[in-house]
A and B are shown apart, each in its own frame.
Chain A
Amino acid sequence: MKDQIFKAYFDATQKVFNLMLNISEISAHPSEDFKCDDEVDIAIGITGDLQGKVIYRFPVATSLNIVNTMSGMQFDAVDAFVTSAVSEIANIISGNVLSALSENNMDCDILPPVQCSLDDDKEYGINTSCRIDTAIGEVCLEIRLNRAA
């Protein structure tokens, strides 16, 4: 189950980076190697057969590269525009994941993206994370989900 869900997120990230940013190669690595002091953390809540959230950790440099690539303009600092754009990317990736989960008979929905902290006291049956490397920087995914009772 954990591998199946991770694969759905990895594949969706690859698809979205390819279509929207023209980046075809991405690779997964252990999250222990993800070192970042300054990042934009976006949570997408999940409801339905799976419940919890996935946090997309975009380092500032990655966030700026994403927006620079999409817009063809130069963004030098994270502001409301950049945060909103990367939140929408997280939303689009999660939307793609829903289709993959649905094909595996898991009926889920997502909540609008929100900026969040990483702190969380809840217990999750599926609690995994990974660092994804791309040509425009790293992204870390924190997957925190429970199966619905």
Chain B
Amino acid sequence: MLWKDNYEIGVPQIDEQHKELFRRVESFLQVLRSQVSWEEKVQKVNETLEFMKGYVVEHFRDEEEYQKSVGYPGFEAHKQIHTGMVDYVLEFSKQYEQSNHDEQLIQQFGGKLLAWLINHVAAEDQRIANYARKKGDELK
């Protein structure tokens, strides 16, 4: 499984969204790397890409709301990382459409998405959790 329990940040809504994101990416990778022909894969791949475009934006918005609610000092920098990823997904999506669904392009996208997602959740998002925990301890 892609998801690891130590990726949890302790905020149920965000953790559920992360798990859903990992489930979708895992299912996407399984289709992308399956041995069936590209013609058989392309519909599922395109559906996942459409899902990602919507869900990622929704998740990033909720996560940013949470960061603001706890006064996370790294909010602006984190928001920039989100914006960079959304821009990348939209730009990639445009190129992919223009290439008439080129498989090499989507394989490149899959590799970057895998590494980006793991790093973002395992490293960047953990900073929010650490801050919230520390703040909670100080208020006790």
Contact = CB atoms under 8 A, between A and B. Distances in A.
A85 interface: yes
A79 B107 CA distance: 8
Given A71-B29, A73-B33, A83 B111 contact: yes
Could you tell me the dominant secondary structure of chain A's interface residues? helix
Nearest to A74: B33
A85 B115 contact: yes
Interface residues of B, number: 21
Interface in A37-88: 67, 70-73, 75, 79-88
Contacts of B2: 71-72
A70 B32 contact: no
B107 A20 contact: no
Interface residues of A, number: 22
Interface of A: 15-16, 19-20, 67, 70-73, 75, 79-89, 92
25 contacts: A19-B122, A19-B123, A19-B126, A20-B115, A20-B118, A20-B123, A67-B111, A70-B118, A71-B2, A72-B1, A80-B104, A81-B32, A81-B107, A84-B107, A84-B108, A84-B110, A84-B112, A85-B111, A85-B112, A86-B111, A88-B112, A88-B116, A88-B119, A89-B115, A92-B119
